[in-house]
Each structure stands twice: as C-alpha cells, then as structure tokens.
Amino acid sequence: MMVMRRRISYLKLLIICLTMTTIMGMWLHYSASNCHCAHTSNKEAVAAPDTHIQKPPQVPKEEEDNISDGDNRNWGPHKLAIVIPFRDRFEELLVFVPHIHKYLNAQKVRHSIYVINQVDLHRFNRAALINVGFIISMDDGCDYMAMHDVDLLPMNPDLNYGYPEDGPFHVSSPELHPLYHYKKFVGGILLMKREHFEQVNGLSNMFWGWGREDDELYKRMEEVGLQIFRPEGIETDHTNTFRHIHDRQRRKRDTVRVGTQKELQFRRDRITGVDTVQYSLVSSHRMMVEGAVATIYNVKLDCNTELTPWCDHQK
C-alpha cells in the first residue's frame, strides 16, 4: 500500500513537471514572437526619406571654389590683383582680408589677394614689394592691380574697383583719404592695368624706409602722359569714406633719411623699376580668414649697397 502511494506521488510530480515545462516553452515562444513584432514595428516607424522634397540647387565644386576665392568667371573677363606690401602687421591683415573680399564680391569684381611679406633684415621697401607683387600676380592670370595699404579699409560701397581701362584710378584720392590731401598724392589705393604699369616700369626700388615712393610714381605717370582718374559723385568725405586701422603708437614709421637719401628722394629715378627688382621667394602660404582666401609670399629683397647704401640703418 505504501509502495503504491509513493508511485502515485512520483507520477503526479512527473506530470506537474511536464506541465510546467510545456507552459514555460509556450511562454518563451510567445515572448520571442512579440519581441520580433515590436522590432519590426520600430523599423517601420522610421520614416523613409521623402524623395519628393526639393533640395536647394547644388553648386558645382569647381564653381564653388571660384566663388570662395573671389574668382567667379561670370563676373567678367578682367581679374584684379590686390597687392599688399607687408611686414609685421598680422592683426591688421586679419581685419583687411575678409573685409576687402566681401567688399569686392558685392561689386562682383574678380580678384585674388597677394600679401607680399618682406622677411629679410633690410628696411621696409614698399615700392619693391609692389613690383614683386605685380610680377607674381600677372603670372597668375590677373590683368590689373590694386596697390593697397593693409590699414586702409573702403567703407563707401560706391568706390569703384573695376578695370581702369583709360588710365590709373586713384581710389583713395586726396579729398577722400583720411590723412593725405595734397594734389599729387597717389598713395593708399591705386589701380593700374598691366600695360600702364609696364609703361612706367613700375615703381622705383630705391625707397628704403617709409614714404616718397608714391610721389616718384606720380612723376613716372605724368612723364608718359597717363591721366589719373579719381572717384566722382562720392557723398562721403575724408572722415568716413575709409577706415584707417593703423596704430602709430605700436608701429612707428621709419622716416630716417641716411646719407644722400634725403636729396635723392625728390628726384625721378631712371635706374630702377619693376624690370630691375631683385628678390628671392622663400615660401608661399595660402590662408583663409572668415571664408576669404589670401596667399602670403615670403620674399627677401636684395639690396645694391653701392646704389642704395641706406637699405640698412647705419650704426
């Protein structure tokens, strides 16, 4: 009797175990099925891209590059070289480059910016650096040039940087420049096309130190009969046409005149010019400032000490 009861107990236990196993299997299968459905549902919940939505027109990469460089060929056949004679004025350069780039883009003037950086130990020679910038930029496809001070920002949108077909165009004319107002002043910003710059043989290379090189250029232009054009109908004046960002306290002018330099600075130089400038190109670097591209050319100017012994300060 005891043996029979034990057998019944074992049988019940076996039936219970089998029932539990069956229920557990069914539950696992049901859970897996629900999980798979939920996963599929999540996939379907992610919206497929709407192929009917219109996207903005894509600018071809080649054209986009030209626009960012300021060289959109749709703006015309002429290309302006902004030539900046430069040394140790990086803060001003960071302001100038994006400003002039936006300014010229607004006028739809094709342009490239050339920063001619003097890295030798001689005194600064603005005119020789402009001659170097002319050579580099004309070889680069430009057909006219703006000799442009880095500290002079045009603020009036009516100033014209277009191609100076008939003669040199003095953007920063005496009545508009913040500092210099004498009649024969042609410094600051002067536009010249290739043929006219070559006609006067560029600028004199004899002006080491600050000043007078643009006065000698005036004599060159006057001698060959070039008419100098200036802005007309400008409603601003010398107080607000340009923004002058030069800090005279931090960067003092090198106005020292050595030996016969004082006497010769008022003469017409018939010895030197763009065809005699001697220099070596050390390196070049392409930089971008706020979307505006400029190329820095580090150059060393050679000094003929017999001709211009004042290229270095005498000790």
pLDDT of residue 22: 63
pLDDT of residue 292: 96
pLDDT of residue 61: 47
pLDDT of residue 67: 46
Could you read off the pLDDT of 30-46 as tens digits, one per residue? 544 444 433 333 433 33
pLDDT of residue 65: 47
- Ordered DSSP codes for the chain: -HHHHHHHHHHHHHHHHHHHHHHHHHHHHHHHHHHHHHHHHHHHHSPPP-TTSPPPPPPPHHHHHHHHHT--GGG-S--EEEEEEESS-HHHHHHHHHHHHHHHHHTT--EEEEEEEE-SSSPP-HHHHHHHHHHHHHHTT--EEEEE-TTEEE--TT---S--SSS-EESS-TTTSSS---TT---SEEEEEHHHHHHTTS--S---SSS-HHHHHHHHHHHTTPPPB---S----TTTSEEE---TTTS-------TTHHHHTTSPP-S-STTT--EEEEEEEEEEETTEEEEEEEEEE---TTT-GGGS---
pLDDT of residue 14: 62
Helix/strand/coil (H/E/C) assignment for every residue in 113-166: EEEEEECCCCCCCHHHHHHHHHHHHHHCCCCEEEEECCCEEECCCCCCCCCCCC
pLDDT of residue 264: 72
pLDDT of residue 15: 65
For the chain, list residues with pLDDT below 50: 1-4, 31-67, 315
pLDDT of residue 11: 60
